[in-house]
Copies of this chain bind each other. A is one copy, B any other.
Amino acid sequence: MHYVIGVDGGGTKTVAVAYDVEGNVLGEGRSGFSNVMVDFKEATKHILEAIEQAQGNLPKVDCKYIYLGIAGSEGIENKDELIQILIDAFQTKVSVVNDSIIAHAATLKGEDGILAISGTGAIAIGISSEKRVFTGGWGHLLGDEGSGYWIVMEAFRQMIIEADESLPLGQLSMELLKEMGYTDPQDIKLYAYSRPKAEIAKLCKVVTRIAIAGDPVATRILDHAGQKLGKMTWNCCKKLGYKDEITIGLSGSIFKNIPPVLESYKKYLSEKIEVPIKWIQEDCPATKGAYYLASKEV
């Protein structure tokens, strides 16, 4: 029975899944980070381990493709070396692409369209036949507007205005301080400079709660986030080009967990895009995206 292996390689873990031709899971493997730019040897070891686990007792000869998506793969100097190692080890066809490409294929089932992602960061990936375009994805110092981290930093900036202008602290500021266990706005410096971005981004839940309770400041921040993500997606649409219809897939915790952002986002785009939009918002493991991509080529 022929099968393909999809690999989702990240900065902390590598997940490999073997799929039969119909996309059913045959085996799964997990290992450490696969960030080859950080440590090529160790990352390669993890990738091999995860694939071997996923392969289990499946006949090597039936493996028709290994499709590997890894973070920041465009920058890898020794991508060819990595591909050769995998070919030597598994005697099959191998592709190595950026992790955003397999994420796109996972949500859009390998079809053309745009995938907008907003989690800790924010990026849009557009694919049409062989054309691939990106907007956003500039990271937290330069961009990522509309991401979870950005939303919290916007809320912090509001608190800073209140502190610097000696205004009374608003409800959003007070609830954020309470959540962090602080009383003085000055303490957010400690928080913002010592915590990981993903942890800071989690304070989004406070902004969301206050917005849903009707606070105008929190509501404005979430509206703004939706518009920023809408703008990023619209820029991607323009780069990609579209005709009678466009498919937009949504991924990441922000679209899923913050209804006011999703609403503002869809409103922005429906005013910009004049053709019907097919929305896809389903969770699908990135490895399955690798399956869709491999299936096209097997």
Contact = CB atoms under 8 A, between A and B. Distances in A.
B142 A188 contact: yes
Of all A-B residue pairs in the complex, the 10 with the closest CB atoms, nearest first, are A135-B164, A164-B235, A141-B192, A165-B235, A142-B192, A138-B160, A166-B239, A142-B156, A143-B160, A139-B189
A238 B165 CA distance: 8
Contact of A138 (B143, B189, B232): B189
Contacts of A153: 141-142
A139 to B, nearest CB: 6
Nearest to A190: B75
Interface of A: 135-136, 138-143, 153, 156-157, 160, 164-166, 188-189, 192-193, 232, 235, 238-239
Contact of A164 (B136, B189, B193): B136
Chain A binding site: helix, strand, loop or mixed by DSSP?
Answer: helix
A165 B235 CA distance: 6
A72 to B, nearest CB: 10
Nearest to A191: B142
Nearest to A156: B142
Contacts of A239: 166
Nearest to A124: B164
28 contacts: A135-B164, A136-B164, A138-B160, A138-B189, A139-B189, A139-B192, A139-B193, A140-B141, A141-B141, A141-B153, A141-B192, A141-B193, A142-B153, A142-B156, A142-B157, A142-B160, A142-B188, A142-B189, A142-B192, A143-B157, A143-B160, A164-B232, A164-B235, A165-B235, A165-B238, A166-B235, A166-B238, A166-B239
Nearest to A165: B235
Contacts of A166: 235, 238-239
A66 to B, nearest CB: 28
A126 to B, nearest CB: 12
Given A140-B141, A164-B232, A166-B235, 10 more contacts: A135-B164, A138-B189, A139-B192, A141-B141, A141-B192, A141-B193, A142-B160, A142-B192, A143-B157, A165-B238
The residue among A139, A164, A189, A193 with the most chain B CB atoms within 10 A of its own CB is: A164
A196 to B, nearest CB: 13
A153 B143 CA distance: 10
Nearest to A236: B164
A22 to B, nearest CB: 38
Contacts of A238: 165-166
A236 to B, nearest CB: 8
A184 to B, nearest CB: 11
Contacts of A160: 138, 142-143
